[in-house]
Amino acid sequence: MPSINHYNKYQSPLSERYASKEMCFIFSDQHKFSTWRKLWIALAEAQQELGLRTITSDQIDEMRRFQDTINFDTAKVYERKLRHDVMSHIHAYGEQCPKARPIIHLGATSAYVQDNTDLIQMKEGLHMVLAKLVNIVSVLSNQAVKYKDLATLSFTHFQPAQPTTLGKRICLWTQDYIFDIEEIETKIRGLRFHGVKGTTGTQASFLSLFHNDAEKVKRLDELVTKKMGFDSYYPVTGQTYSRKIDSQIAFGLTGIAQSSHKFSNDMRLLQHLKEVEEPFGEEQIGSSAMAYKRNPMRCERIAALARYVLCNCLNPAFTAASQWFERTLDDSANKRISVPEAFLAIDGILNIVLNVASGFSVYPAVINRHLADELPFMVTENILMEAVNAGGDRQELHERIRKHAMEATRRIKEAGDKNDLLERVAQDPSFSRIKSKLKEISDPIKLIGRAPQQVEEFINEIADPLLKRNNHLLNKKLIPALHV
């Protein structure tokens, strides 16, 4: 149980309510400082492998024993005195590893552990984001196939337009997430290691350490990079890697926020129409006052978090723009907040999207009723063409349909009547030659174009190959485990 003090200080809703425990761990102090220690171990190992005799195997073994056992309280004591987080952890680690104390952080600057850890955390975060995106595409693809033939009103300007199918609409959401997958995959492939660069990026300290052997210094960079799981490092840096990397990652995450906000908006509007509804728990309360309400709170939460991510991406952008020469420290406080919280917010968004996409309800009867209400207006051109083909005068018929449509519209708006346009046309002698065809002409299936075929083609040619390529990321446990 949390202590009373837990409730006496601000707790971030991102970690307390929205993000998964796995994403929170990636940006936790435990993971961060354990990674610092892994970096110090990798540096010492590589230096020893390259012939630095001052480093012994006993020292490295001692460092490994305490890699994950962080003496946080000791580090806090040092930080209050030293006002320097890296040095405080060097001293705390040194207390646990007295043999290794003289060689911890040898030749390195603070950015060695800070920047390389940031890159490791972002890489791990991107992989987690990618996995959830792939699962979303899988879920939405199944829904698209399920509803590929269900005719529904489409909307332009949120006004009724030519029918589509629900499956086709779902493909629009799915395609946006596929664009996001492609962007995140590109970001993962392009992410490199900061490496071992020294105080201003020149590697001067390491050149001195290896008695001006430039090849060994280059090899040191390569060895540590490989040990930490990266294929390549940035060839030139200042004291830090370019802060444009953070900005590019943040903007990649905003693409997911855009897709999710669009998805949530469409779902909220459909729920207003009572055509589609997000999951609703048996004991869930929609409103504290209006007991009947089933508010789309999950999709509203998606929209809220998405707006946060969209705004937050400006922080890394301003930080990248405002760095001076080889580095300034005005990035640090902002970066500590903006980068982890971008990942936590996106993780929270994707958790809810997975939940909604896998469990929304569809009400075909309501969809059909709305379609029937608007369909007569949409088939007027088809009626006109059939009547002309049957020998009628196009201009006279057009005027007759126009008058019937205006009267039907008036009755709908003023009296709340149902749309009786088709009945009016059927009773008009001008259309007697095609009266028997009116039911066939007004079949909504004839108005949805190639929507069902487009769904099949999209799933077979785009979604399925992507899912096959990422089959190892599909995880059915992701969805039931969600807490929203």
Q: Specify if 53 maps to a domain.
A: yes
Per-residue confidence (pLDDT) for residue 412, from 0 to 100: 86
Per-residue confidence (pLDDT) for residue 281, from 0 to 100: 62
Whether residue 157 lies in the annotated active site? yes
Per-residue confidence (pLDDT) for residue 242, from 0 to 100: 96
Q: Is 55 exposed, middle or buried (0-12, 13-18, 19+ CB in 10 A)?
A: buried
Burial readout 191-220 (b: 16 or more C-beta within 10 A, e: otherwise): bbbbbbbbbbbebebbbebbeeeeebbeeb
What's the CATH number where 155 sits? Answer: 1.20.200.10
Q: Which residues contact 12 (CB under 8 A, 6 or more apart)?
A: 341, 344
Of 131, 127, 150, nearest in space to 139 by CA:
131
Look up residue 79 and give its amino acid: E
Shared domain check, 315 and 412:
no
DSSP string, 376-415: HHHTHHHHHHHHHHTT--HHHHHHHHHHHHHHHHHHHHHH
Q: How many CA atoms lie within 13 A of 32 on its CB side?
A: 14
Boundary-marking domain end, from 103, 127, 153: 103
Per-residue confidence (pLDDT) for residue 480, from 0 to 100: 44
Q: Which of 3, 6, 157, 472 is catalytic?
A: 157
Look up residue 402 and give its amino acid: R
Shared domain check, 146 and 58:
no
Whether residue 211 lies in the annotated active site? no
> Which residues form the domain of 32?
23-103
CB 193 within 8 A of CB 116: yes
The strand pairing partners of 343, in sequence order, are none
Number of residues written out for the chain: 484
What's the CATH number where 385 sits? Answer: 1.10.40.30
Q: Specify if 183 maps to a domain.
A: yes
Calculate the alpha carbon distances from 298 to 14, 171, 361, 481 in Å: 15, 21, 14, 16
Question: Rounded distance, CA 248 to CA 254, Å?
Answer: 10
> How many other C-beta atoms lie within 10 A of the C-beta of residue 415?
8
Q: Specify if 223 maps to a domain.
A: yes
Per-residue confidence (pLDDT) for residue 4, from 0 to 100: 60
Written as tens digits, the pLDDT of the chain (484 aa) is: 555 677 888 889 999 999 999 999 999 999 999 999 999 999 999 999 999 999 999 999 999 999 999 999 999 999 999 999 999 999 999 999 999 999 999 999 999 999 999 999 999 999 999 999 999 999 999 999 999 999 999 999 998 888 999 999 999 999 999 999 999 999 999 999 999 999 999 999 999 999 999 999 999 999 999 999 999 999 999 999 999 999 999 999 999 999 999 999 999 999 999 999 998 765 554 554 454 557 899 999 999 999 999 999 999 999 999 999 999 999 999 999 999 999 999 999 999 999 999 999 999 999 999 998 888 887 888 888 888 998 989 999 999 989 988 988 898 888 888 888 888 888 999 998 888 888 888 888 888 999 999 999 999 999 999 999 999 999 866 654 444 4
How does strand 276-277 pair with strand 151-156? unpaired
Q: How many domains does the chain have?
A: 3
Per-residue confidence (pLDDT) for residue 352, from 0 to 100: 96
Q: Which of 57, 287, 322, 432 is catalytic?
A: 287
Shared domain check, 390 and 354:
no
Per-residue confidence (pLDDT) for residue 446, from 0 to 100: 84
Question: Rounded distance, CA 148 to CA 457, Å?
Answer: 11
What's the CATH number where 98 sits? Answer: 1.10.275.10
Q: Specify if 447 maps to a domain.
A: no
CB 218 within 8 A of CB 207: no
